């Protein structure tokens, strides 16, 4: 999953999958959703991040 984030493969279509994966790793559901939102905002704010540049 981390590799997919770093490669920019993950997008909004896989948000439920990422949340489910975090929940399966015993992260509470609300926290899992918060983490996904936080990480996606960081990724979107950094130009060139995740586009193999």
What tens-digit pLDDT sequence spans the chain (53 residues)?
A: 667 666 766 665 677 877 888 888 988 989 988 888 888 777 766 666 555 55
- What's the pTM? 0.54
Interatomic CA distance for residues 32 and 2, integer angstroms: 15
> What torsion, rounded to 10 degrees, do the Cα atoms 32, 30, 42, 52 define?
30
Interatomic CA distance for residues 22 and 28, integer angstroms: 8
Q: Is the dihedral of CA 20, 25, 31, 37 positive or negative?
A: negative
Q: What is the pLDDT of residue 33?
A: 86
Question: Could you identify the residue written with the tokens 């920019």?
Answer: 8
């Amino acid at each position: 999953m981390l590799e997919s984030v770093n490669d920019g493969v993950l997008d909004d279509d896989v948000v439920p999958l990422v949340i489910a994966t975090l929940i399966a790793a015993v992260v509470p559901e609300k926290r899992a959703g918060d983490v996904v939102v936080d990480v996606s905002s960081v990724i979107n704010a950094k130009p060139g991040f995740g586009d193999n540049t």
